[in-house]
Amino acid sequence: EPEVTQTPSHQVTQMGQEVILRCVPISNHLYFYWYRQILGQKVEFLVSFYNNEISEKSEIFDDQFSVERPDGSNFTLKIRSTKLEDSAMYFCAATAGGPADTQYFGPGTRLTVL
Amino acid sequence: AQSVTQLGSHVSVSEGALVLLRCNYSSSVPPYLFWYVQYPNQGLQLLLKYTSAATLVKGINGFEAEFKKSETSFHLTKPSAHMSDAAEYFCAVSDRSFQKLVFGTGTRLLVSP
């Protein structure tokens, strides 16, 4: 069964550094999402992406964050200047489309900002 | 705006006992509702979803949930717990526009022998 994959599984970075988290969605999926989960807290929506543009973003998704689909397969989340509070598990999700469609989640990238 | 409340951050049951995980939602439109499970160090896996068809929804691993509009609830049940059910369970509601999922705080299910 096709899966959503994410790399790296764990990233450690210094505060102020840029990080890029990568996701490879299932090939026929059209809608893409990033969520994050701070340790011990609930999963929070960051951004949705469709047709090469952002569909919706949360208050968390400020100017330090950006997303793109550079080559038609990878879907990336960039944090330009990381803060301590960006430490979290970041999940990519994808769906073929339609409001009732299942979102398939990747295994996540654990980001640790020191 | 949609929201989800999961009562009980931890639920403990014995193997073979009934599992009941509670979820109440708030939505200004007819909701789509989901239950996801997260095993340690893994991503989120869909257990089941309600999309306005049958109100009793059956999912994987013997789980089911019933949508009750009058109670704004979507509780997850399983007749007989298994050790392998120990995990974190998240209830989520979709806002139907671009499908953003709004998650509850999660319930950790502990299963003892």
pLDDT digits (tens, 9 = 90+) for B26-41: 987 778 899 999 998 7
Chain A residue at shortest CA distance from B103: A43
Instruction: Tell me how close the Cα of B106 comes to any Cα of chain A, in angstroms.
Output: 7
The C-alpha atoms of residue B98 and residue A100 are separated, in whole angstroms, by 10
Q: Number of A:B CB contacts under 8 A?
A: 64
Q: Do B49 and A102 touch (CB under 8 A)?
A: yes
Q: Residue A67: which of A107, A112, A22, A16 has the closest Cα?
A: A22
Instruction: Tell me how close the Cα of B54 comes to any Cα of chain A, in angstroms.
Output: 14
The C-alpha atoms of residue A85 and residue A45 are separated, in whole angstroms, by 16
Q: Do B99 and A50 touch (CB under 8 A)?
A: no
pLDDT, mean of residues A82-101: 88
Could you report how far apart the first and last alpha carbons of chain B are, in Å? 41
On the 0-12 / 13-18 / 19+ scale of CB atoms within 10 A, B16 is exposed
| Low-confidence spans in chain B with pLDDT less than 70 | 96-98
Does A82 have pLDDT greater than 70?
yes
Output the pLDDT for position A59.
92
Chain A residue at shortest CA distance from B107: A42
Chain B residue at shortest CA distance from A39: B105
Q: Which residue has the higher pLDDT, A16 or B1?
A: A16
Report residue A98's pLDDT band, with 50, 70 and 90 as the boundaries.
low
Mean pLDDT score across all residues of chain A:
91
The C-alpha atoms of residue B91 and residue B98 are separated, in whole angstroms, by 18
Query: Shortest CB distance from A99 goes to which of B42, B44, B99?
Result: B99
Instruction: Collect all residues with Cβ–Cβ distance below 8 Å to A19 and sequence separation of at least 6.
Output: A11, A13, A78, A79, A82, A111
Output the pLDDT for position A1.
65
DSSP B13: E
Instruction: Tell me how close the Cα of A62 comes to any Cα of chain B, in angstroms.
Output: 17
Does A58 have pLDDT greater than 90?
yes
